[in-house]
Structure formats: C-alpha cells, structure tokens
C-alpha cells in the first residue's frame, strides 16, 4: 500500500505556485500647470477673465510667466490676488498712475510709475517671495536675447518686460538695458516650462499683421513689434498644450475704456477652451500613470530576480567554506 502511494506521488504534477498579488497603482502627483500670459498692452485685461474662468472651474495654475501686459497681471496673480481682486484693481486703475512721461527724453514713458505700482500691489516682495513661481520675460537690448527674470525686484522686472520700444525708455538692470519681451517671446510658453510646468495654458492676445493700417504712434509701434515677434511667437505657441485666444484683436493697445469688455472676452475664450484643457490634463495624467506603472513593474521584477538569486549565492558561499576548488573558482555565476 505504501509503495502505491509513493508511486502516485511520484507521478503527480507539481502544484502551481500561488498567483502574485497585483501591484497597487503608484501614486502619481497631478501635472504642474503653467500659465503663459502674452503681451498686448491694454488688451491684457483679458488675462483677468481667463484666470477668473479657470479658477471658477477648479483649474489653478501652479506657475505663471508673463510678457509685457501679461507680466503685470501675472505678477499680481502670483503675489496671491484672486481673480475678483484682480478685476477690482483693473476697474479702479487710473491710467495716469502708471504713465510718467518725460519730455526731455522725447516724450517717452519712463516706467518708474509702473514699477512702483506693481511693487505696491505685491507688498514690495521680490519675485522669489511671491506665492506662485513667476517669470517676467524681457529682451536684452544690446544682444536681442530673451531674458527671463525669476528673482529680484518684481516691479523692475515687470517694467523691463513692458518697456515697448519707442514708447517706454529702456530699463537698465545691472550692466544691460532691457525692452519689451514681446520682441522675442510674445507669449512666454518656454518660460513657463522653465518654471517646471508639465502642462502649459497659453493666452495669446498679441496683435497680428492683418493688412490694415494701424492708428496712432502706439498702434504703429505695437504692430511693428507684432511683425517682429510673429514668427517666433508661432513657434513658441506650438509648444503650448492649449492656446486661448480672447477676441480682442480689434481693441486698441491704449484703449483702457474697454477693460470690462476685455475681461468678458477672456472669460468667454477660457470657457470655450475648458473641454480641451480637461481632456489634455486627463491624457497627460494617464500617460504619467502608465509610465509610473512600467517603472514600478521593472523595479519589482529586478527585486524578485535578486531575491531568487540570493539562496543560490548563499549556498555557493557556504560550499566554498569547505570546498577548496570552489574557493578558487569563486561564486560569480550566482552573484
């Protein structure tokens, strides 16, 4: 009887190992959202409407980059103002408060008043102490290089970013002079990426060369800058995840009387872009989760391989203590 049982055991199949429990999904932080606010003089009030609609729908940018008018709104937003506070500031803003004309410089705006206004609004904090990471983009006059200010005097950086050539005096910072960032980066998508953004929402309010003759000196200067930066701007905008374009192209660059309409156009454009923003964020998060799962699976497989090899390595080491031949050969095969 015992022989029969032994024979049955010998001929039986080896039991399958228990299935490995499924790995829990890795924790993937949400994408870091960047907001790139473009230049466009008085049309920049549209940025407030965009921010207002984004936040009302639970989309809160983590980092902010601004060029020219976008740097003004961006600095105040990064300092901690909510959209309603921004709107209150916009409605109450007296244009004369930020326009300091110097006759002996050819009637150019000096820009010190704008610098002091911004510094007052942000509590005189430098850029690195604002609540959100912030970058103001300007153009180095001597070389034409794009310069991204991420630390230092907030108002001064905004003034440099907003110094429209022919309208504002260039701003001297250190040994260089700076003018409007719209010359090289009309919508600062790349600056938002530099701040660590995974997903960039760009707001384009820049003027386009439409074939119509611009009105007034500021209109001429504004269109000239648009022509210079248009090709560069198109290339940079292509690197954004979503581009919002408020319908303010026919607004004059100095038309402060239409600020409420500009804010409303920003709200409407952002509302229309919400499905694209949400879809893009979901797609990015799904891809990041898949990448994290793949990394986790590789790390788990490597750990299992090391664990499986460990008993053989220990047996080899134990055998080497009494087998002179194995001591000479070593245990490289099982290490």
Catalytic residue from among 68, 162, 185, 206? 68
Weakest-pLDDT range from 108-117, 285-294, 296-305:
296-305
Q: What is the DSSP letter of 173?
A: E
Going along the chain, which residue ranges are E strands? 33-37, 63-67, 101-102, 108-109, 134-140, 146-149, 171-173, 176-180, 199-203, 242-244
Per-residue pLDDT tens for 45-71?
999 999 999 999 999 999 999 999 999
Is there a catalytic annotation at residue 241?
A: no
CA dist., res. 118 & res. 112, Å (int)? 10
Helix (H, G, I), strand (E, B) or coil at 180: strand
CA dist., res. 72 & res. 184, Å (int)? 18
Is there a catalytic annotation at residue 180?
A: yes
Mean pLDDT of the chain: 84
Q: For the CA atoms of the chain, what is the radius of gyration? A: 31
Catalytic residue from among 180, 190, 198, 241? 180
Given a cut of 70, is residue 326 above it in pLDDT? no
User: What is the CB-side half-sphere exposure of residue 32 using CA atoms within 13 A?
Assistant: 12
Burial class (CB in 10 A: 0-12, 13-18, 19+), 308: exposed
CA dist., res. 109 & res. 268, Å (int)? 33
CA 322 and chain centroid, separation:
64
Q: What torsion, rounded to 10 degrees, do the Cα atoms 140, 142, 144, 146 define?
A: -20
Mean pLDDT of 89-93: 87
In 3D space, the residue among 135, 236, 134, 132 whose CA is nearest the CA of residue 183 turns out to be 236
User: What are the CA-CA distances from residue 77 to residues 74, 91, 135, 313 (Å)?
Assistant: 5, 16, 12, 61
CA dist., res. 33 & res. 316, Å (int)? 54
Q: What torsion, rounded to 10 degrees, do the Cα atoms 55, 151, 189, 60 define?
A: -10
Instruction: Label residue 319 by pLDDT band (50, 70, 90).
Output: low
The pTM score is 0.82
Q: What torsion, rounded to 10 degrees, do the Cα atoms 291, 293, 296, 298 define?
A: -70
Per-residue pLDDT tens for 112-143?
999 999 999 999 999 999 999 999 999 999 99
């Amino acid at each position: 009887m015992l022989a029969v049982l032994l024979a049955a055991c010998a001929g039986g199949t080896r039991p399958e190992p228990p299935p490995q429990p499924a790995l829990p999904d890795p924790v993937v932080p949400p994408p870091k959202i960047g907001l790139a606010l473009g230049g466009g003089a008085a049309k920049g009030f549209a940025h407030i409407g965009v921010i207002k609609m984004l936040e009302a729908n639970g989309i809160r940018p983590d980092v902010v980059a601004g060029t020219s008018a976008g740097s003004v709104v961006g600095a105040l937003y990064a300092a901690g103002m909510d959209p309603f506070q921004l709107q209150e500031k916009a409605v109450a803003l007296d244009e004369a408060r930020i326009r300091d004309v110097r006759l002996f410089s050819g009637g150019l705006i000096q820009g010190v008043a704008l610098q002091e206004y911004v510094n007052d609004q942000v509590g005189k904090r430098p850029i690195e102490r604002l609540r959100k990471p912030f970058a103001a983009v300007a153009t180095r006059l001597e070389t034409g290089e794009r310069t991204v200010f991420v630390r230092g005097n907030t108002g001064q950086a905004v003034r440099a970013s907003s110094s429209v050539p022919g309208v504002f005096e260039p701003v001297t910072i250190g040994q260089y002079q700076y003018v409007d960032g719209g010359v090289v980066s009309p919508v600062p998508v790349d600056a938002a990426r530099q701040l660590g953004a995974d997903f960039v929402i760009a707001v384009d309010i820049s003027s386009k060369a439409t074939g119509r003759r611009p009105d007034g000196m500021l209109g001429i200067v504004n269109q000239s800058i648009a022509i210079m930066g248009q090709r560069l701007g198109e290339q940079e905008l292509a690197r954004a995840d979503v581009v919002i374009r408020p319908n303010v192209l026919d607004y004059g660059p100095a038309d402060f009387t239409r600020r409420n309409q500009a804010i409303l156009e920003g709200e409407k454009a952002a509302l229309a872009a919400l499905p694209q923003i949400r879809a893009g964020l979901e797609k990015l998060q799904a891809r990041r989760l898949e990448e994290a799962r793949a990394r986790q699976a590789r790390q788990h497989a490597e750990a299992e391989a090391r664990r499986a090899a460990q008993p053989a390595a220990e047996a080899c080491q134990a055998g080497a203590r009494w087998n002179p031949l194995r001591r000479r050969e070593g245990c490289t095969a099982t290490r």
